[in-house]
Each structure stands twice: as structure tokens, then as C-alpha cells.
A and B are shown apart, each in its own frame.
Chain A
Amino acid sequence: MSEFFHMGGHGFYIWTSYTLVLIVFVYNYVSPIIKRKRLIQQIDTANKSAGRSKERDYINTHNHPE
């Protein structure tokens, strides 16, 4: 097993390469998924608050409590 990690003296170069590629690939896979979920949440709250302010406008223009 240690022979496998040693790779005949080239372990450092091989494992650094593979680890870097793994990090880059996982980051590239995960980041747009997280970003999309965050965007959807943002748009959702923006739409809801827009909906509420419309309601408020309606009440303000239609109710005139002296």
C-alpha cells in the first residue's frame, strides 16, 4: 500500500496533480448549484416583498380612514 503512494519516488508529483484536479473539479461542480439555489431564494424573497408592497398600495389607495 505504501508502495502505491510512493509511486517509485514520483508520488509527490502524481498526488499533487490528482489532488489539484480533484479540488478544481469538485469546486466547479458544486459552485453553480449553490449559486442557483441562492439566486432562486433571492428572487423569491424579492417577489414576495414586491407582492406585499402592491397589497399595501392597494389598501392605501382604496381605504381612506379620514
Chain B
Amino acid sequence: MSSQKKTTGRSWTWFHRFGSPEYFYRFAERWGPRSAVVTLLLFLTGLYWGLVIAPPDYQMGNSYRIIFIHVPAAWMSMFTYVIMAVAAGTGLIWRMKMGHIVAKASAPLGAAFTFCALVTGSLWGKPTWGTYWVWDARLTSELVLLFLYFGYIALANAIEDQKSANQAAGVLALVGLINLPIIHYSVEWWNTLHQGSTVSKLGRPSIDTRMLIPLLIMFAAFNFYYVTTLFNRVRCELVDQERRTKWVKELI
């Protein structure tokens, strides 16, 4: 009985350790720069492969090369939102400060990914569809996602008291989750201009392998970029919020 308790206890210790601001800071300080190196290498490989080695598309010509930043950015815009909402939820339910800090650090990154997805999509739309923008379901719901991030950032920063700011922004993050399935299924639910998914069709992705490999490398690059910049933002936020604690004073 007691040994069973111990093992379940041990499996949760990582969760509690990352709940400690000091531990999280040290972890980010140690692994952030390494993640930055991996990010850079992945980007260089992915870009060279995507822009130079991969052949042009038989229908779209070279404009399809925007896919190597557009699709990972769009994917990350949603992935970051899930992380943000889960982190905010953890902060709300278990009153874990680190949850709110991770959520707050994710919001500007998510907004950046969403912005990149919208702009690159628009620049891809012009030569492919003949227009920069249409009020199609996919595009509109992605724009709503950008405004959700802006709303979160505004709420988290506008309220003076840190605890009320975390609560209000956290609730907004959770409510905004409704938008994610709408974005994902928009291309299936409504007959729109935006094409369906190319990669995630399990088993048979409708994309040539010579194009799929650089796309997957760019996916990895975007994920490592997210981790690297998340660590940077978390460190910044921790120094700001924990400035009166002993460990921050020792840092200085």
C-alpha cells in the first residue's frame, strides 16, 4: 500500500517541480540556448530543402513554396492556443502560478504564429485564387483566433492585480477553445475556397515525398522555435513577477 503510494507520488513530482518558479527558471536557462541551436539548424535545413531542392508544383508552380511556412504557422497558431488554455486551466484549477505564467508567455507567440499564417496565406492566395482575402470560413475563424489572442493579452496586462488578471484572462482562454474545432473543420463543414488538409490525412498524405520531408522539418523547426521563445518569455515574466523573492535577488 505504502509503496504504491510512493510510486504514484513519484510520477507526479515532475509536475510539482515545474510548478516551482525557481526550478522552471533554471530549467529554461539551461535548455533554452540548446533548443535555440536546434531551432536554427532545423530552419536552415528546412529552408534550403524547401526553397532549393524541392521541385515546383505541377499546378501552382513555385508559389506553393509558401506552404513551408504557412502550414506550420497555422498549425502552431492552434497548438499554442491549446497549450495556453491548458496552462491557464491548470492555473485556475490548482491555483498554480506557473500555469498562468506559461499561458501569458504563450499568448504573444500564438498571436505571432496566427499573424504569420494569415499574412502568408494571403500572399499565397493572390497568385493561386486571384485574391488576397475572402471571408471564407477558414480565414474568418483564423482571424477570430488572432483577436482571441489579442483579447487575452489585453486582459492579462490591463488588470493591475495579478490574481484577478490571471483569472479573467484564464477564463477567456478556456472559452476561446470553442474556436479551435471550428477552424479545424471549417474546410469540411462549409464548402469554401480554402483547400482541405494535405498532411494529416493519415496514411496517404496528398503531397509528394520530396515536398513532404522539408515540410516536416519546418514543422519541427517551428515547434523548437516555440519552446525556445516560450522559455525566453517565461524567464522575463518570472523576473518581473518574482522580483521580491530571494532567488531572483540572488540571480542579480
Contact = CB atoms under 8 A, between A and B. Distances in A.
Interface string A10-22: 1101101110110
Interface in B47-82: 47, 51-52, 56, 61-63, 65-66, 69-70, 73
A35 interface: yes
A36 B239 contact: yes
A21 B216 CA distance: 18
A18 B52 contact: no
A29 B228 contact: yes
Given A7-B65, A21-B69, A43-B248, A13 B236 contact: no
B149 interface: no
A28 B126 contact: no
Interface stretch (B107-115, B155-163, B173-181, B193-201): B107-115
Q: What bracket does the count of chain B residues touching chain A fall in?
A: 35 or more
Contacts of A39: 236, 239-240, 243
Interface residues of A, number: 26
A20 to B, nearest CB: 6
Nearest to A13: B123
Interface string B225-236: 100110011011
B123 A24 contact: no
A43 B239 CA distance: 9
A16 B116 CA distance: 11
A27 B248 CA distance: 26
A29 B229 contact: yes
Contact of B69 (A8, A17, A32): A17
A interface secondary structure, majority: helix
Contacts of B116: 20-21, 24
Given A17-B119, A39-B236, A8 B252 contact: no
B249 interface: yes
Nearest to A33: B232
A8 B56 contact: yes
A12 to B, nearest CB: 8
B124 interface: yes
Interface of A: 4, 7-11, 13-14, 16-18, 20-21, 24-25, 28-29, 32-33, 35-36, 39-40, 43-44, 47
Given A7-B62, A29-B228, A43-B252, 17 more contacts: A7-B65, A8-B56, A10-B127, A13-B63, A13-B66, A13-B126, A13-B127, A14-B66, A17-B120, A21-B73, A21-B120, A24-B112, A28-B112, A35-B236, A39-B240, A40-B239, A40-B252
Interface of B: 36, 47, 51-52, 56, 61-63, 65-66, 69-70, 73, 108-109, 112, 115-116, 119-120, 123-124, 126-127, 225, 228-229, 232-233, 235-236, 239-240, 243, 248-249, 251-252
